[in-house]
Amino acid sequence: MTAWQRFLDTFFKPEMIAQYWPSIAQGVLVTVEIASAVVVTGLALGLLLAALRAYRLAVCNVLIVIFVDVLRSLPPLVAILLIYFGLPSVGVSLPSFVVLWLVLSLVLAAFAEEIFWAGIISTPKGQWEAARSTGLGFSETLAFVVMPQAIRLGVPPLTNRTIAITKNTALGTVIGVGEILNQATAAQSFSGNATPLMLGAIAYIVLFVPVVAAGRWIETRFAWRRA
C-alpha cells in the first residue's frame, strides 16, 4: 500500500462512510438543536442584562459585572464538569444536554452583555436628550431609541463571538451529549478506523463554514453608517 492509499484507507474508507454517516447525521441534528438554543437564550439574556445595566442600580450592576467577568474568565469545560458531576451530589441531576446548553448560554450571555453594553454607552448623549425632550421616559428611550442602535453596533463583534461559542458544543462529548464528536469518537473506537472521525470533522466544517461566511457578510453589511 502506498502512503496515499494508506491515508485514504485511514480517513476515507468508503465502507466506513456508508456505515456511519447516519449516526454522524444524527449528531449533526443534536449539534444544530443545542447550538440554536444557545444562540437564542444567550443573546436574549445578554440583551436583558445590558438593558438592566442601563438603569445604573448599584447592587444590580455589581452582580452583573461579577457574573459577566466570571463567565468570561472561566474555561467552559470547567463549568461543564463542575455542574454535571458536582450537582448530583447535592441532589440536582441535570441531563447532559441541559448542562451543555446552560453553560454555553451563560457564557454567550456574558460576552453579549459586554458587547451590547459597549453599544449602549457609545450611543451619543444627544440621542437620549432628543428623546427625553419629546417626553419619552427612560425605559421608552432605552427600548426604542438606544437599544436598536446598540444592537446594530454590536452585530459585527457578536457574530464572531457567537460562532466561537456555539462551536463549543463539541465539548458536550466529554459528558456524553450525542453530538457530532461523540458519535464520531464512539464509531471510531468501535470500528478501529479513523474514517468516522474524519466524517465528524467534515460535518463540523460543512456546518460551520457557511456560518463563518455568513458572519463575514453580516459584518460588512452592518458597518453602520451614522447620520
Partner 1 sequence: MAILTVSGLRKSFGASEVLKGIDLTVGERELVFIIGPSGSGKSTLLRCLTRLEEPSAGTVTFAGVEVTARATNLKLVRRSMGMVFQSFNLYPHMTALGNVTLALRRVLKKKSAEAEALGRSALAGVGLADKALSYPSELSGGQQQRVAIARALALDPKIVLFDEPTSALDPELVGSVLSVMRDLRARGMTMLVVSHELRFARDAADRVVFMDDGRIVEEGPPETIFNNPRETRTKAFVAQLIR
Partner 2 sequence: MDQIGQQFLNLDIMLQVWPLLLRGLSTTLYLCLLVIPLGLAGGLLVALLLLARSRVVQWLAIALVDLFRAAPPLVLLILIYSGLPFAGIRLSPTAAVCLAFFCNTSSYYGEIYRAGIESIGRGQWEAARSTGLNGWESLGFVVLPQAVRNVLPDLVSNTVEVVKLTSIASVVSFPELLYSADMARSLTFNSSPVVLAAIIYLVFLWPLVRLISRLERRVATH
What is the contact surface with partner 2 in residues (CB under 8 A)? 6-7, 10-11, 69-70, 72-79, 81-82, 85-86, 89-91, 114, 118-119, 121-122, 153, 163-164, 167-171, 173-174, 180-181, 185, 188, 193-194, 197-198, 200-201, 204-205, 207-209, 211-213
Q: How far is the CB of 154 from partner 1 (least distance, A)?
A: 13
In the region spanning residues 206 to 225, those forming contacts with partner 1, defined by CB under 8 A, are 224-225
Q: Is the dihedral of CA 49, 52, 54, 57 positive or negative?
A: negative
Give the Cα separation of 51 and 169 in Å (integer): 28
Q: How far is the CB of 146 from partner 1 (least distance, A)?
A: 9
* DSSP per residue, 171-202: GGGGGT--SHHHHHHHHHHHHT-SHHHHHHHH
Q: Which of 190, 185, 213 is nearest to 201 (CA)?
A: 185
Q: Can residue 56 be called a binding residue for partner 1 (CB under 8 A)?
A: no
The site partner of 168 among partner 2, partner 1, none (C-beta below 5 to 8 Å per kind) is partner 2
Site string for partner 1, 75-114 (x = CB under 8 A): ----------------------------------------
Q: How far is the CB of 136 from partner 1 (least distance, A)?
A: 6
Q: Which of 64, 75, 151, 143 is nearest to 110 (CA)?
A: 64
C-alpha cell at 155: 452585530
**Which residue, 69 or 140, is less far from partner 2 as judged by CB?**
69
Give the Cα separation of 178 and 51 in Å (integer): 35
Residue in the block written with cell 438592566: 52
Q: How far is the CB of 61 from partner 1 (least distance, A)?
A: 22
The site partner of 44 among partner 1, partner 2, none (C-beta below 5 to 8 Å per kind) is none
Sequence-separated (6 or more) residues with CB below 8 Å from residue 26: 178, 183
**Which residue, 96 or 136, is less far from partner 2 as judged by CB?**
96
In angstroms, how far is the first alpha carbon of the chain from the final one?
A: 66
**Which residue, 44 or 174, is less far from partner 2 as judged by CB?**
174
Q: Can residue 122 be called a binding residue for partner 1 (CB under 8 A)?
A: no
Give the Cα separation of 23 and 29 in Å (integer): 10
Q: Which of 72, 129, 205, 213 binds partner 1 (CB under 8 A)?
A: 129
- Contact (Cβ atoms closer than 8 angstroms) between residue 187 and residue 196: yes
Residue in the block written with cell 463542575: 82
Enumerate binding residues for partner 1 (CB under 8 A): 124, 126-127, 129-137, 140, 144-145, 148-149, 152, 224-227
